[in-house]
Every structure is written in structure tokens, then in C-alpha cells.
Structure 1
Amino acid sequence: MEKADAAGPTALGLVVHPSADVRDSVRTITDWATSRSVPVIGRDQDAGRLPPEVATVPDDQFRARIKGLVSLGGDGTMLGAMRLVVDRPVPVLGVNHGNLGFLVEVTPATLEDALARLVADDYTIETHGCLVAECSSVRPLRTDVGFNDFILARQGRTGTVSIDLSLNDQQYGYYRGDAVVVSTPNGSTAYNYAAGGPIVSPSAAAIVITPVAPMAGINRSIVLGAGDRVSLHVAADSVPVAVNVDGTASAELAPGDVLSLRMDEDAAQVVRLAAGTHANRSRIKLSLLDLPLRRDQLLELIPEELRPNGSVQPIQDRADAEDAGR
């Protein structure tokens, strides 16, 4: 992310959490960028949360001028940053100012080291796919790109969502229940999993559709290829359908409306500095989803600095003794 030729994008973009205190990280970034004559810009909507030396511009100019992007927040902020540059993917580095983040990799304490590695090109790019939507409704989608999932759900506590499914212009059945979740592999561990859907490897090129509390019609998950075209037709007997994209409200559909989805497999470039650490964090995520890990496998997830003598063996010995005494 060093300064590029003046004819091309040269700036480092910042996307910040709407409420978390990210001032120290912003200062670290601006000091680093100033020492290398790299301009730093933000979005107009974040002007009140950025210092005066960070110029803010409209989103269209922001996308055109940045060579790389830093997201300061949690996974939600990171997803928003990725959606922002989906039409012109640039490397996105996530700095965790939230709780347990799975997309964001860097902590504020390690941000300076991360920036140094970016200068040295000591990182890899992890490509993320997304779902891209088109809608026949006269009310446009507020968000038409989802890196985790699209959820079509009833708005209240009464009535059912009734939706006809078409794949590649061929009708395949219908859903009737509380909601329908369409997810990417990365999003498969979210609402899709909570609704009984499968966990899909992020390396798979796939789309997953899972019904929530089905009353009739299709009652199991369907795993599709990334090249399949999905159309969801809101049936005449359906209640109004709220569309939620990556946790944000996007639209309300009425009977007769059609939401069409396709997969863009190369929609975002996420910076990875330590693939092993990120993989370990993913294992923790899976253990939180009650997937079975053996005791020694769980112990391996303890950071080295928290292990007695830098090893899990004393903990393992105590665990074995406890098991023997039962």
C-alpha cells in the first residue's frame, strides 16, 4: 500500500465503527502514512469521527481514490467496508475494535507491526465471494450485496412467508414458514447454521438455501453451485417479506415481487498476515458452535502466552488426572 503513481489511486481509506473509540488506531495510521507521504481519506459520513488531517469525500470519490482500505471496528464494520468496494476490490485490512471477530485479524496493539508488513508486502490476500441481488420491486434495495447472507423473513409474529424457488429459470418448489436464508460459505456458520443448515467450507464455491421453521414445501437445506441463478418469488398468499442483508435491513417485498441472487466469487480482497492464527480463530468459532473437538484439540487453542511454561502439557496432565479420578 505504498504510494502509487500519481495517475492512479494513491490514498489509504479508513472506514470506522459508528460508536467505538478508534482514535488511537486512527492516530497510528495517520502517523505511519505521514512518514511515507501516503494520503489518508475517509468518508463524508464519518467526518465527525475523524481528525481534521483526514480529508473526507463522498463515497464515489472514496472508492476511486483508494489503493487500500483499513476497517476499524468489528466484523460488521469489515463487512460494510467490503461491500463499499465490491465494484473495485482493493486490499482490506480489518482492525478489531469489537468483541470476538472472525473477519478482522489485527488488534490495535499490533497495528504498527501490521502496517510495517503491508509496506514490506509481507501478507497474503484471501478472496471472498458475495451474493449480488436484483429485485423487481418498485422499492429499491438499500443493500444489494451480501458477503454473509440474505434473509427473507416475516416482519411480525403472525402469518407465514410463502416463496416460490426457481433455479436457472426452472421452478423447483416453494417455501412456507418463518424465513428463508440464502448464504455464502463464509456466512454458513451464522443464521444458516442456527436454522439447521450445513457448515460449508470457505474454499467451496457454493450457495446454501435453508428454510427457517418450515411449515410446508421444501423443508431441508439445498446446496447449489456458485454459477446457479436463484430467484425467490413472493407468492400471493405470503405476508410482506423483510429482506435483511448481512444484518442490515434492505427492503420490504410484497406478493408478486421477485428477488434474484447470483454469486460473485471474487468480490473482496481481505488482507491476511498470519494464516495460522486466523485458522485457529476459525477453530474457536466452530467450537462455539458445539462442533466436537477433543480435549487436547481445545487446549491447543489457548494462546502460547497463557500456557504454563509455554506448553499445554501441564494443563493436559491436570485434565487427564481429573478424568482418571472420575
Structure 2
Amino acid sequence: MSAEAKMGTVGLVLHPRKLVQDSVEAILAAVRDRPVRVLARDSDRARLPEAVATVPDAVFAAQVDGLIALGGDGTMLGAMRLMADRPVPILGVNHGNLGFLAEVAPPQLPAALARLAAGDFTIERHAGIEAHADGAQLATGFGFNDVVLARAARTGAVSVDLWVNDVRYGYYRADAVVVATPTGSTAYNYAAGGPILSPSSDAVVITPVAPMSGIGRAVVLGAGDQVTLAVAADSAPIALDIDGTASASLTPGDRLTTMLRRDAAQVVRLSATEHASRSRIKLSLLDLPVRPDQLVELIPPELRQRAHDAIGRREA
């Protein structure tokens, strides 16, 4: 079956503030003579032309065969969460900054859409974290980057006991505790000194932020491990964030249980090699140590040629 046949309905997920109209017009132009319906959510109605139909979120998630996320990594994460119970291919168009998840820049979108129509792409599968809190107002939450337990105020410390598969392993006393997926390992986990996990790994990493006592290093666990963090009696009130969004408040006696869910999202890749190269550049911007000759390798060939030509003109 062709990619076009599979993509009968393409959904749009828009950044809430960025100007993405040019990308929307490029998408409409690409499907104008094809049997493809473009659908969006009612919340974006005012920002879309009449050619794009809108429906409630639940209907949107049930009807789309693929998504195009117009924004940055936050928009991609939102699109992935929206489809976590029914994964479909998601193409990210980077209207943001670093964009680890987004695949193309807006000028590259028409060519990317042609490749999608031809079926010339691969799928990169991503795991997510399902979180369930006992005793808090959150029943179940889901994220693709991380689950963070942080101090709700500037005083005190997060104090939680770590249980893995119902076995107690120790405790954390820190400013925050981060539970991250391989995708999220380059975010808060990395900033806190945790390791970068390969996107292909089936693992989760737990990293304390500014630990005061207890477990002071990052711990890497398997995808099948059930992780429970029980809030201790001496803990400050805890703000629970999932993918950077406030989700619940935890107090002593509450228990947060997390489990990695494999293959919870499908991200479109047009070239795995090019994506890996771009990711290396972005990680180098985050202070990942590389040698000088490696820095040259990270520069895209077309930019390398421009620099070489500019140097030649100056020397002439």
C-alpha cells in the first residue's frame, strides 16, 4: 500500500504562538490534487484557512493517519502525547530553536512532503513514561521526555524513597529528581549531570538534581522495571512536572509509580544519517566535548564549502 493511501487524513498540530501560516499553505498546496484531507483541532480554528477542517481533540486523535507538528520540540512532544494511545507517523517542522525531534526546517517542507507521498521515509520509534500517583490529584499522566519531582517552593528538599519492582533500594534528598526516557536524556537529565542514553536503548534514567544525601548519582534501569518514588515524611511539598508541564502536587505519603512504554510514538525520519549528524551538532552546542577535527566534521558539507570559498576569496 502506498504512503498516500495510508495518509488519507493528515492532522496538523500547531505551536500556540509561532507564525506557521507559510507551512500550512505549503501543506495545502502539496495535497491539493491528492485524495488527502487536512484536519486540525478546534482550538486552532482562528489561525487556519477554511480549507482546513477542525474537530475536537478526541475526534482528531481518532481520525488522523499521520501528523505534521509545526513548532519546536515542545510541539512535537505534545503531538506525540496526543497520539500515545494510537501511534501514527509524525513529521516535525522546526519553527523553534534546537529541535532534536523535529526533522525539517520550513524551507525544506515541500521536498519532505513529496518524499512522504512517495513513501520515502523511515519511522523512528520512541518510548514514553506512564506515571501514576497514589494519593495525589493526578490519576495517570504520560510523557516522552521526563517526569520531574521538584520543590514546590524554594525551601526544603525533595525527599523520596526509591522502589524498583517493589524492592526498596535507597532514597533521594535533593532539589529535584528526574526520571527520563532516552529521548529526554538530553534535556533536564543531561543538565543535571546525567548520562545521554542512545535513542535505541530500552532504558530509563533517574538523576538527582543537587543531591544533599542518599543516592547521589544517576541510575539507569531497564524498560521493564517499575519505578516507584514514595514521598517521605521529611519532604517539602513536591511539584510534579511531566514534559515540563505542571501535572500534580505530591505530599508526604504519596507514591508516584512510573513505567516505560515501548513504541509509544512514531517519528518520521527522512535520513537517519543526516538526523544523527544534526543531533551531534546540537549536542555540541550543549557543551558535549568534541575534538577540533570533529567539529569540522559536524559542519554540513554545503556550509563547509561556503567557508572554504570565502577563505579562498580573502586569500586572493
TM (normalized to structure 2)? 0.93
The DSSP-based 3-state class of the residue aligned with 1:299 is helix
The DSSP-based 3-state class of the residue aligned with 1:51 is coil
1:174-226 Cα shifts (integer Å, max 9, x gaps): 11111100001121121111111111111111110011111111111111011
**Structure 2: distance between partners of 1:102 and 1:15:** 17
The DSSP-based 3-state class of the residue aligned with 2:298 is coil
**Structure 1: distance between partners of 2:96 and 2:289:** 27
**Structure 2: distance between partners of 1:99 and 1:289:** 13
Aligned to 2:64: 66
Residues 1:198 and 2:169 aligned together: no
Aligned to 2:221: 224
Match of 1:174 among 171, 175, 187: 171
Aligned to 2:184: 187
Residues 1:97 and 2:91 aligned together: no
Aligned to 1:33: 31
Equivalent positions of 1:296-307 (< 5 A) are 296-307=293-304
Aligned to 1:124: 122
- Given that 2:136 and 2:249 are in contact with CA atoms closer than 8 Å, whether structure 1 keeps it comes out as no
Runs of at least 5 residues in structure 2 that lack an aligned partner in the other structure: none
**Structure 1: distance between partners of 2:5 and 2:32:** 11
1:32 Cα deviation (Å)?
Answer: 1.8
Runs of at least 5 residues in structure 1 that lack an aligned partner in the other structure: 319-326
**Structure 1: distance between partners of 2:191 and 2:27:** 38
The DSSP-based 3-state class of the residue aligned with 2:162 is strand
CA root-mean-square deviation: 2.0
**Structure 2: distance between partners of 1:122 and 1:154:** 46
Q: In structure 2, what residue type is equivalent to 1:150? A: V
Write out the 4+ residue segments of structure 1 that deviate beyond 4 Å after TM superposition. 309-312
Match of 2:146 among 144, 149, 155: 149
**Structure 2: distance between partners of 1:149 and 1:99:** 19
The DSSP-based 3-state class of the residue aligned with 1:61 is helix
**Structure 2: distance between partners of 1:167 and 1:47:** 45
Question: What percentage of residue pairs aligned between the two structures are identical?
Answer: 62
**Structure 2: distance between partners of 1:98 and 1:215:** 35
1:289 Cα deviation (Å)?
Answer: 2.9
Residues 1:259 and 2:256 aligned together: yes
- Given that 1:242 and 1:251 are in contact with CA atoms closer than 8 Å, whether structure 2 keeps it comes out as yes
Residues 1:288 and 2:285 aligned together: yes
Q: In structure 2, what residue type is equivalent to 1:225? A: G
1:264-293 Cα shifts (integer Å, max 9, x gaps): 111100000021211111111221232221
Aligned to 2:4: 2
Match of 1:82 among 80, 83, 89: 80
Q: In structure 1, what residue type is equivalent to 2:183? A: N
**Structure 2: distance between partners of 1:235 and 1:138:** 14
Q: 1:54–1:273: structure 2 CA closer, same or farther, 3 Å change rule? A: same
1:211-248 Cα shifts (integer Å, max 9, x gaps): 11111111111110110000111112111110111111
- Given that 2:77 and 2:144 are in contact with CA atoms closer than 8 Å, whether structure 1 keeps it comes out as yes
**Structure 2: distance between partners of 1:161 and 1:293:** 35
Residues 1:139 and 2:137 aligned together: yes
Q: In structure 1, what residue type is equivalent to 2:188? A: Y
Q: In structure 1, what residue type is equivalent to 2:122? A: T
Q: 1:309–1:39: structure 2 CA closer, same or farther, 3 Å change rule? A: closer
Match of 2:17 among 12, 15, 19: 19
**Structure 2: distance between partners of 1:39 and 1:276:** 31
**Structure 2: distance between partners of 1:42 and 1:304:** 37
Q: In structure 2, what residue type is equivalent to 1:165? A: L
Match of 2:233 among 230, 233, 236: 236
1:138 Cα deviation (Å)?
Answer: 4.3
Q: In structure 1, what residue type is equivalent to 2:67? A: L
1:310 Cα deviation (Å)?
Answer: 7.9
The DSSP-based 3-state class of the residue aligned with 1:293 is coil
- Given that 2:4 and 2:119 are in contact with CA atoms closer than 8 Å, whether structure 1 keeps it comes out as no
**Structure 2: distance between partners of 1:99 and 1:40:** 26
**Structure 1: distance between partners of 2:216 and 2:272:** 37
- Given that 1:131 and 1:263 are in contact with CA atoms closer than 8 Å, whether structure 2 keeps it comes out as yes
TM (normalized to structure 1)? 0.91
**Structure 1: distance between partners of 2:74 and 2:113:** 22
1:15-51 Cα shifts (integer Å, max 9, x gaps): 0000110001111112222310211110112122222
1:140 Cα deviation (Å)?
Answer: 2.1
1:311 Cα deviation (Å)?
Answer: 6.0
The DSSP-based 3-state class of the residue aligned with 1:300 is helix
